[in-house]
Chain A
């Protein structure tokens, strides 16, 4: 049924301001696609291009295989939830939800029925006659979602719909949204800079940086197999450790320990970046080999875990700093020396020059679905 396809979309305002550079994406029926990236990466612009609020400089927007690149937003049968909700302040909640239907000349009886259905789902029955200014932030957010749902559009577009809610409410609404949109068949395109939202809600995540698509994959894949250093650093909190380490033949020297390099790695290079997530690092058991020694210099208690920053002992001048997420059960002191294990399965290798991921061919073949 409903599909969305972007073909080589490019948007430039001036030759130097190009928020979107050659993006191709698809979202099929039942898919929840999240556009994730830091501010200024072009994610909102892409959403506005899909909506038709901006026109692409080149490239095509296809909906159900039909080129809609030059249709007005109102003719594309899309529904959008805005960051500021953009409720019409002078209309009641009912009028706000019904406005899109009224313009499409749908009979009053059907409008009533459809609004009632949506209102039931979102628990807005009591508020139908209020004005937006008489609603709380969470209620306004629900009205904005209701206005989109009632349209039964071909595609849902959501532009950071949770960013105006306070932290506690955000988590609750996030769960509600997930349940709500799981029942929708139309594809959903969701824009956010919050990786938790992206990981929890989506079936597919597109990580964007400087108008370029970095990786398009399932949330699990994005986390476990980041395509490059940017994706690896952007996803996951606390951030992944990046250690620029020297290469010696087929090994990388981390601290005083030699770690075998991936087979596909270009041997000519003298350095490589090793990425390892803080949550993958653990304390070595007494009988374990290949441990890495480090000295604690900062302990941050996060409640469930301690985030511990260590300086690794190296054979060369530059100090390597690693952050490890360790259970709070054991107690640590500053300037204590610890033996750590970096499990080889948790290694992410990146090229020093390009930041692209260096895959161990043997491994990745097994990991492919």
Chain B
């Protein structure tokens, strides 16, 4: 209980703050459990700023980069798991090293590339790096899942007449749904929360993503910190992730039980 409370407290504090009146937020001593609730910060968020458009941007970038990471990563992982490739060990080591690389270090190089390719203020400037950063993890996780699949299944598919690509899409991938969902969620969360690339490569207001927009919420005066709207923005930004995980949690469990081959 203590641990759960410790983990949830900041989130809970933000949630409560987002519903408090301004007077209650700045009241001393602290008002922990507000007696009056208001939705004014949320209204303000969507009325004063194009928050719906931020959310749309975040969704678009996250979903596209997730789909790309899975679409490119799963076949690569399958090849690494099943084919006898020359230099397989070297490829795997390289992939592993890439995951160890702190991605901030890529930032300057990427900035140059974005400038050179004139991708600034373009969704692609986010989608491509996000995909690239998520790929190694996707490949490693998917590969270990593919290796756990019994080889007989794929042999049976071959004898039945499935071609390699059909085997992958009709036999192997449906059986690895839990892995796809898990890695997909991780990739999505990363893309959804990413801040630095989103801050630097996108300057146009209508292309900004939620983390950037939330951070840039400012008060009317320089010294005013709009705690209420910031808290509301945090909640709005986190809610989709929570819903997503809760929704797919069922799929993960389903997938695990349906994957049984022998009793």
Task: Give me the interface of A with B, judged by CB distance under 8 Å.
Answer: 48, 51-53, 72-75, 78-80, 82-90, 99-100, 103-104, 131-133, 136-137, 147, 164
**Is A88 a contact partner of B159 (Cβ separation < 8 A)?**
no
Instruction: Identify which of residues 152-209 in chain B touch chain A, using a CB-to-CB cut-off of 8 Å.
Output: 152-153, 155-163, 166, 171, 174-175
**Is A84 a contact partner of B261 (Cβ separation < 8 A)?**
yes
B166 cross-chain contacts in A, Cβ below 8 A: 103
* 19 A-B contact pairs sorted by A residue (CB < 8 Å): A73-B155, A74-B159, A74-B160, A75-B161, A78-B159, A80-B155, A80-B159, A82-B155, A84-B261, A86-B155, A86-B261, A87-B156, A88-B153, A88-B157, A88-B171, A89-B258, A89-B261, A100-B161, A132-B261
* B76 to A: closest C-beta gap in Å: 23
Docked CA distance A72–B163 (Å)? 9
We find that the number of chain B residues with CB closer than 8 angstroms to chain A is 23
Docked CA distance A103–B161 (Å)? 7
A80 cross-chain contacts in B, Cβ below 8 A: 155-156, 159
B261 cross-chain contacts in A, Cβ below 8 A: 84-87, 89, 132-133
Using CB atoms, name the residue of chain A closest to B260: A133
* A231 to B: closest C-beta gap in Å: 30
**Is A104 a contact partner of B159 (Cβ separation < 8 A)?**
no
The 5 closest A-B pairs by CB, nearest first: A74-B161, A86-B156, A86-B152, A100-B160, A103-B161
* B258 to A: closest C-beta gap in Å: 6
Using CB atoms, name the residue of chain A closest to B152: A86
**Is A51 a contact partner of B159 (Cβ separation < 8 A)?**
yes
**Is B259 a contact partner of A89 (Cβ separation < 8 A)?**
yes
Docked CA distance A136–B262 (Å)? 9
Using CB atoms, name the residue of chain A closest to B171: A88
Task: Identify which of B159, B174, B258 gathers the most chain A CB atoms within 10 Å of its CB.
Answer: B159
Docked CA distance A100–B166 (Å)? 12
Task: Give me the interface of B with A, judged by CB distance under 8 Å.
Answer: 150, 152-153, 155-163, 166, 171, 174-175, 257-263
**Is B175 a contact partner of A90 (Cβ separation < 8 A)?**
yes
Q: Check A86/B161 contact, CB under 8 A, given A131-B258, A132-B261, A133-B257.
A: no
Docked CA distance A133–B160 (Å)? 21
Task: Identify which of A78, A89, A164 gathers the most chain B CB atoms within 10 Å of its CB.
Answer: A89
Using CB atoms, name the residue of chain A closest to B166: A103
B175 cross-chain contacts in A, Cβ below 8 A: 88-90
- Beyond A86-B156, A87-B261: 14 further Cβ-contacts under 8 Å? A53-B159, A73-B161, A74-B158, A80-B155, A82-B152, A84-B261, A85-B152, A88-B171, A88-B175, A89-B260, A99-B160, A103-B162, A133-B260, A164-B262
The answer, among A73, A84, A164, for a CB contact under 8 Å with B150, is: A84
* B83 to A: closest C-beta gap in Å: 14
Task: Identify which of A74, A78, A83, A136 gathers the most chain B CB atoms within 10 Å of its CB.
Answer: A74
B260 cross-chain contacts in A, Cβ below 8 A: 89, 133
Using CB atoms, name the residue of chain B closest to A103: B161
**Is B156 a contact partner of A104 (Cβ separation < 8 A)?**
no
B258 cross-chain contacts in A, Cβ below 8 A: 89-90, 131, 133
Using CB atoms, name the residue of chain A closest to B161: A74
A73 cross-chain contacts in B, Cβ below 8 A: 155, 158-159, 161
Docked CA distance A85–B150 (Å)? 11
Docked CA distance A137–B263 (Å)? 7
Q: Check A103/B262 contact, CB under 8 A, given A84-B152, A89-B175.
A: no
**Is B156 a contact partner of A82 (Cβ separation < 8 A)?**
yes
The answer, among A53, A74, A136, for a CB contact under 8 Å with B162, is: A74
* A150 to B: closest C-beta gap in Å: 11
* B156 to A: closest C-beta gap in Å: 4
Docked CA distance A100–B259 (Å)? 21
**Is A53 a contact partner of B171 (Cβ separation < 8 A)?**
no
**Is A86 a contact partner of B174 (Cβ separation < 8 A)?**
no
Docked CA distance A80–B158 (Å)? 10
Using CB atoms, name the residue of chain B closest to A53: B155
A99 cross-chain contacts in B, Cβ below 8 A: 160, 162
A75 cross-chain contacts in B, Cβ below 8 A: 161
A137 cross-chain contacts in B, Cβ below 8 A: 263
B163 cross-chain contacts in A, Cβ below 8 A: 74
B150 cross-chain contacts in A, Cβ below 8 A: 84, 86
A53 cross-chain contacts in B, Cβ below 8 A: 155, 158-159
Q: Check A79/B161 contact, CB under 8 A, given A84-B152, A89-B259.
A: no
